[in-house]
Amino acid sequence: MSIISKDISKAVALLNAEEIVAIPTETVYGLAGNIYSEKAIKSVFETKQRPFFNPLIVHISSVDYLSQIVEHIPKKAKLLAEAFWPGPITLVLKKKNTIPDVITAGKDTVAVRVPNHTTTLELLRQLDFPLAAPSANPFSSISPTTAAHVETYFKDNIKMVLDGGACKSGIESTIIGFENDQPIIYRLGSTAIEDIEAVVGEIQIKNKKEIAPDAPGMLERHYAPKTKTILTDNILGMVDQYKGKRIGIITFQSEIANSNIEVQIALSKTGDLAESASKLYDVLHQLDKMDLDVIIAEKFPEYGLGKSINDRLSRATK
Ligand code: TXA
Ligand code: MG
């Protein structure tokens, strides 16, 4: 029997009983549990096979709730929360003592966001506690953007996927930490840097070597299909190199005429980066099921969400 359901009250009952439930967000599906239940949080880590040193994101229902989670809100954090929440930005701030150490992997900071999804906002409003939720995929594999993706991964391990349709943004939230009250990007994501800079001024991207392994989203191999995957700005050259193999390609807009290609998918025929981001993981899931020898992806333009798409594709190729 399918574990996919639209029944919010069923999700409330399970979460109140310290069980975990997969929930929809605008970015990717999350594997959620009560932040104050040791049992639920332990089962999030175990189900995902996620190492305990990797902290989780706390999901809250409104900007007002933030002061119950964090100790201090820098001015620029407040500006970002007001500008983008509900939405795909996660803020890493000094945690309150009441936030359990298992959520933060012992760190004195906590990651928090308000997801922009009506079903999950309604769910959060019906609960007396926030939800900790990493992306609902086994550690290092492709993140899920539909309820069916989650069911394929976890049908034997969890009781319910709360169905909220396909995720609109399609890649994870942009994570922003604060050092001396100044924002710094820990992980590229669904909110473009240019949009963030319009609110807080110029912002640096933290060197990934400095963050890993604290932020597994920053680990070099992550978001990865099982099929060998290559990111290139010379698609035809690569296709030539793999001649005779079963080749799948992912492009931004263009169709490529070449008889060596078995399957090709353009992420946005109109050249829309947001549309491309929303389809990226689903296309990777599809191609990964086709028994191909290689997936060759075209490099996206290095601006806006193109930067975030390139980040995920490059981690899929390691
Ligand atoms: O869009 C998203 O952010 C999705 C949805 C479900 O909200 N969640 C998500 O969670 O991508 P996850 O666990 O796959 O990635 C969370 C990232 C990890 O890289 C983790 O290390 C980082 O957030 N993180 C969490 N707490 C942190 C902290 N205190 N300091 C630095 N990084 C932190
Ligand atoms: Mg993840």
Choose one of 21, 52, 172 to mutate for the ligand 1 pocket test, by most ligand atoms within 8 angstroms of C-beta.
172
Q: For residue 1, what pLDDT is reported?
A: 87
Model confidence over 71-82: pLDDT tens digits?
999 999 999 999
What residues does ligand 1 touch, defined as CB less than 6 Å away? Answer: 25, 27-28, 30, 54-57, 88, 90, 92, 104, 107, 109-111, 115, 133-135, 172-173, 175, 186-187, 214-217
| Residue 119: pLDDT band with limits 50, 70, 90 | very high
Q: Is the pLDDT of residue 216 over 60?
A: no
| Residue 214: pLDDT band with limits 50, 70, 90 | low
Cα dihedral 298, 148, 118, 157 sign: negative
Q: For residue 169, what pLDDT is reported?
A: 98
Question: What is the pTM assigned to this prediction?
Answer: 0.95
Strands annotated E in the chain: 4-5, 21-23, 30-34, 57-59, 89-94, 109-113, 131-132, 161-162, 174-179, 182-187, 204-205, 229-232, 247-251, 261-266, 294-298
Whole-angstrom CA distances from 24 to 37, 120, 153 are 21, 6, 15
Ligand 1 midpoint to CA 138 (Å): 14
Lowest mean pLDDT among 99-103, 119-123, 215-219, 278-282: 215-219
Model confidence over 143-152: pLDDT tens digits?
999 999 999 9
Look at 52 and 277; give whichever has higher pLDDT.
Answer: 277
Non-local (6+) Cβ contacts of 140 within 8 A are 219, 221, 222, 223, 224
Q: In the numeric block, which tokens belong to residue 153?
A: 């991964």
Q: Is the pLDDT of residue 227 over 70?
A: yes
Q: For residue 173, what pLDDT is reported?
A: 98
Give me the DSSP letters along 103-128.
HHTT-SEEEEE----HHHHHHHHHSS
Q: For residue 224, what pLDDT is reported?
A: 87
Q: In the numeric block, which tokens belong to residue 36?
A: 């104050």
Atom of ligand 1 nearest to the CA of 26: 1
**Side-chain half-sphere of 265: how many Cα atoms within 13 Å?**
17
Whole-angstrom CA distances from 130 to 61, 67, 212 are 8, 13, 26
Q: Is the pLDDT of residue 187 over 80?
A: yes
Ligand 1 midpoint to CA 76 (Å): 20
Average pLDDT over residues 149-159: 97
Q: For residue 207, what pLDDT is reported?
A: 75
Ligand 2 midpoint to CA 143 (Å): 6
Model confidence over 122-147: pLDDT tens digits?
999 999 999 999 999 999 899 999 99
Q: For residue 210, what pLDDT is reported?
A: 58
Choose one of 47, 89, 131, 135 to mutate for the ligand 1 pocket test, by most ligand atoms within 8 angstroms of C-beta.
135
Ligand 2 midpoint to CA 135 (Å): 4
Q: For residue 17, what pLDDT is reported?
A: 98
Ligand 1 midpoint to CA 64 (Å): 21
Three-state DSSP state, 38: helix
Q: Decide: 186 and 147 in contact? Cβ < 8 Å.
A: no
**Side-chain half-sphere of 137: how many Cα atoms within 13 Å?**
23
| Residue 211: pLDDT band with limits 50, 70, 90 | low
Q: Is the pLDDT of residue 213 over 60?
A: no
Average pLDDT over residues 292-305: 98
Give me the DSSP letters along 180-209.
TTEEEEEE--SS-HHHHHHHH---EEPPHH
Neighbours of 249 (CB within 10 A): 27
Q: What is the mean pLDDT of the chain?
A: 95
Q: How far apart are CA 49 and CA 51, in angstroms?
A: 7
